[in-house]
């Protein structure tokens, strides 16, 4: 049957790096995408791709197919975060947030599906976020992008059932990666005249501290490997600290306003 071929997007740091490295150690054939030159990752075949550029996505997937003849698992991971109040996002900021986190996943999914359908086999794992099941203040468009992937994945899982292709969403809580330092911010952060100035600074400090105190990406990589191995995976997995898993349960069962109040007070919304 040969080794499973796994394609992971965004392996230059954080989750992507940890997942690619771990899967390679576990003897999968791993292709990891990068959009700039990076140090080699042990056992990982690097391939160039900017997820927002469809042609580079098609080229990268063709490259894997030419080499391996198949892609068993696609792990959509490459993503960015832009922080700021919804009111003050520029059109460009909205565009780049959604183009990367939503259209970027769409691009790889559309490019890989013809090959998975042909074999009547495959698995697509979409990394979303707890922010994809609860709207996070000052991360409104980030949450929008992740909610969108959640909806898309639900629809896709039904469309792809006849083709024996599994769709899975993995929702991490806060993890310690480069995501925090890579986060872009709206101009609000330096604009004392903004009505959101103080609140954004206060809330951003909570967000950043949660992430920096978060779990290590290797923990997620292990969970992902189990999902890759599973014949019949669930549709969704939450990978988070016990407190954050509890928050997901509260979101499901509490009256919505109560939940918003609890989440708002965590983020020091006054």
Residues annotated as part of the active site: 142
Interface residues toward ligand NAP, by CB under 6 A: 10-16, 35-36, 49-52, 77-80, 100, 104, 127, 129, 172, 174-175, 177-179, 182, 211, 214
Q: Which residue is nearest to ligand NAP (CB)?
A: 14
Q: Nearest distance from residue 194's CB to ligand NAP, in Å?
A: 25
Smallest distance from ligand NAP to CB 257, Å: 25
List, in order, residues 6 or more apart from 107 with CB less than 8 Å away: 51, 52, 54, 57
* Residue whose CB is less far from ligand NAP, 122 or 172: 172
Q: Which is nearer to ligand NAP, 132 or 194 (CB)?
A: 132
Compare residues 12 and 199 and give the one whose CB is closer to ligand NAP. 12
C-beta of 41 vs 156, nearer to ligand NAP: 41
Cα 106 from Cα 76, distance rounded (Å): 9
Among the listed residues 142, 34, 33, the one whose alpha carbon sits nearest the alpha carbon of residue 97: 142
Nearest approach, Cβ of residue 178 and ligand NAP (Å): 3
| Cα–Cα separations (whole angstroms), residue 128 to 136, 169, 209, 258 | 13, 6, 20, 24
Find the largest Cα–Cα distance for the chain.
Answer: 63
Burial (CB count within 10 angstroms: exposed 0-12, middle 13-18, buried 19+), residue 258: exposed
Minimum Å gap between C-beta 79 and ligand NAP is 2
Cβ-count burial 86-125 (b if 16+ within 10 Å, e if not): bebbeeebbebbbbbbbebbbbbbebbbebbeeeeebbbb
């Amino acid at each position: 049957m040969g080794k499973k071929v796994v394609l992971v997007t965004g392996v230059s740091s954080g989750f992507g790096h940890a997942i690619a490295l771990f899967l390679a150690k576990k003897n999968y054939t791993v292709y990891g995408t990068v959009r700039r030159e990076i140090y080699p990752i042990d056992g990982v075949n690097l391939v160039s791709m900017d997820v927002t550029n469809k042609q580079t996505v098609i080229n990268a997937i063709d490259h894997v197919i030419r080499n391996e003849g198949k892609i068993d698992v696609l792990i959509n991971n490459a993503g960015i975060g832009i922080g700021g109040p919804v009111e003050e996002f520029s059109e460009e900021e909205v565009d780049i947030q959604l183009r990367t986190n939503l259209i970027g996943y769409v691009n790889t999914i559309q490019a890989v599906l013809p090959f998975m359908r042909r074999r009547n086999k495959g698995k697509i794992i979409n990394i979303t976020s707890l922010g994809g099941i609860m709207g996070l203040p000052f991360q409104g468009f980030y949450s929008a992008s992740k909610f969108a992937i959640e909806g898309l994945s639900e629809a896709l899982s039904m469309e792809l059932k006849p083709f024996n292709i599994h769709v899975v969403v993995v929702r991490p809580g806060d993890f310690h990666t480069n995501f925090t330092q890579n986060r872009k911010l709206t101009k609000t952060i330096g604009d004392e005249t903004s009505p959101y100035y103080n609140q954004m600074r206060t809330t951003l400090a909570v967000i950043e501290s949660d992430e920096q105190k978060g779990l290590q990406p290797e923990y997620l990589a292990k969970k992902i490997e189990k999902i890759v191995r599973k014949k019949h995976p669930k549709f969704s997995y939450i990978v988070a600290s016990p407190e954050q898993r509890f928050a997901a349960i509260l979101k499901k069962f509490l009256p919505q306003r109560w939940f918003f109040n609890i989440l708002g007070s965590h983020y020091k919304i006054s």
